């Protein structure tokens, strides 16, 4: 059995307890996202701004439900509306990784009917 190391071991959303996903594994997730009619989108953030913490947040009001400091990352281009092939998304993932090698990069998927994000997972860890 393996013991989880809590020191410098922050976890992020879905799949973050797994080893980093390969491009083939990311492509399978993207295929599922497209099959469900969702719109993929890439976001990135520097390590120091990638998680919510009192040390790296500026509070504009209380910390109640619905308050979103440091939960929004910078969007890489626009969401990929109408994307029909996982290779299109992998190409953008590759460009984002090249442009921001020291940032976390996550792939999110949005439901255009419900107007919400329904999937999000890391595709790069610095």
**92 closest CA partner among 54, 47, 42:** 42
Own/partner long-range contacts of 84-87 (Cβ < 8 Å, ≥24 apart) = 84/34, 85/34, 86/26, 86/27, 86/28, 86/30, 86/31, 86/34, 87/27
Q: Give the pLDDT score at 18.
A: 79
Sketch out the chain's domains with CATH numbers: 23-50+73-124 (3.30.190.10)
Q: Give the pLDDT score at 99.
A: 97
Q: Give the pLDDT score at 40.
A: 96
pTM over 0.75: yes
Positions in the chain short of pLDDT 50: none
Q: Give the pLDDT score at 75.
A: 93
Q: What is the pLDDT of residues 67-86, one digit of tens each?
A: 555 567 899 999 999 899 99
**37 closest CA partner among 86, 81, 99:** 81
Instruction: Take residue 96 and report the two structure tokens written for it.
Output: 């984002």
């Amino acid at each position: 059995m393996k013991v989880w190391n809590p020191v410098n071991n922050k976890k992020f959303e879905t799949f973050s307890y797994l080893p980093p996903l390969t491009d083939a594994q990311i492509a399978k997730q993207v295929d599922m996202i497209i099959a469900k009619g969702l719109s993929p989108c890439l976001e990135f953030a520097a390590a120091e701004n990638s998680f919510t913490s009192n040390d790296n947040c500026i509070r504009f009001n209380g910390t109640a439900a619905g308050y979103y400091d440091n939960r929004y990352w910078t969007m890489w281009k626009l969401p990929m509306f109408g994307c029909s092939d996982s290779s299109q998304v992998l190409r953008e993932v590759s460009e984002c990784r090249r442009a921001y090698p020291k940032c976390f990069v996550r792939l999110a998927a949005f439901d255009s009917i419900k107007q919400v994000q329904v999937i999000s997972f890391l595709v790069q860890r610095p």
